[in-house]
Amino acid sequence: MIATESDMDDCTGMMAFWADIDADYVLKYQRWHNCEHIPERVSIPGFVEGRRYRALDDRPHFLMFYDTHTTSVLSSDAYMVALNKPTPWTREALTHFRNPTRDIFSRLAVVGRPGTFAAPYITSLRFDLPHKEAEAIYARRWVEAASEADNVERVRLYKADAAIGNMGTSERKVHGGGPGKQAYLVLIEESLPPSEAQSPIHRADSAMGGDTNRLSEECNRYWLEIAHRKEDKQ
């Protein structure tokens, strides 16, 4: 039995990793990530799904993320062992990461439900907010409004966990990445390419009267390369 939609909907933790990959290593990177790394990570207790998306313009820029039952899974002994004992293939692959950003997140809000299949397109919106009141508005009004765009399957809002994200590991020493400068992440899962559909970001911003309060904003759009969900043997 494969992990169910309910399992996916209950996941409140996430590790997300943005990186460019050396152009001459992309195929080897994909082989490593598909055949070793995602299965290895998803097999760790508390991990449910791993995905990789590529920039919509096909640059060698990738978003990799793992959904976990809780954020605490991402500081568990089992995960720390994996991070501190990378395989030879992992050590090699990580030397080809450029401009890496790796963050640990806790989910603040979600509208929509995961589908039978992983979303073919996703928008990643990273930003800061000036005050706690703005966070509450995003968790209620903005996420709801974004989800109403015709092409949107699910909208998730996360906040970075700096304590876990800043932990030093053997893998981090190789790739050199760390937490990003923004505290918030929105993931918008879409059924159509963003260029062919109504913009959920524009719709949500308009619902707030254009007063978004977002600082240090970074927005990227991606298409799905691979997704692995854990088999439930219970």
Confirm whether 234 is domain-assigned: no
Residue 230: predicted pLDDT: 82
Confirm whether 230 is domain-assigned: no
Confirm whether 34 is domain-assigned: yes
Enclosing domain of residue 131: 5-225
**Which segments of the chain have a pLDDT < 50?**
1-7, 234
Query: End-to-end alpha-carbon separation of the chain, Å?
Result: 8
Confirm whether 39 is domain-assigned: yes
- Cβ(111)–Cβ(139) below 8 Å: no
Number of domains into which the chain is organized: 1
Residue 102: predicted pLDDT: 96
Residue 233: predicted pLDDT: 54
Q: Which residues contact 77 (CB under 8 A, 6 or more apart)?
A: none
Q: How many CA atoms lie within 13 A of 6 on its CB side?
A: 1
Confirm whether 98 is domain-assigned: yes
Mean predicted lDDT score pLDDT of the chain: 92
Verdict on whether the full-model pTM lies above 0.75: yes
Q: Tell me, what CATH number does 11's domain have?
A: 3.30.70.100
- Cβ(127)–Cβ(213) below 8 Å: no
The tens digit of pLDDT for each residue in 40-80 reads 999 999 999 999 999 999 899 999 999 999 999 999 999 99
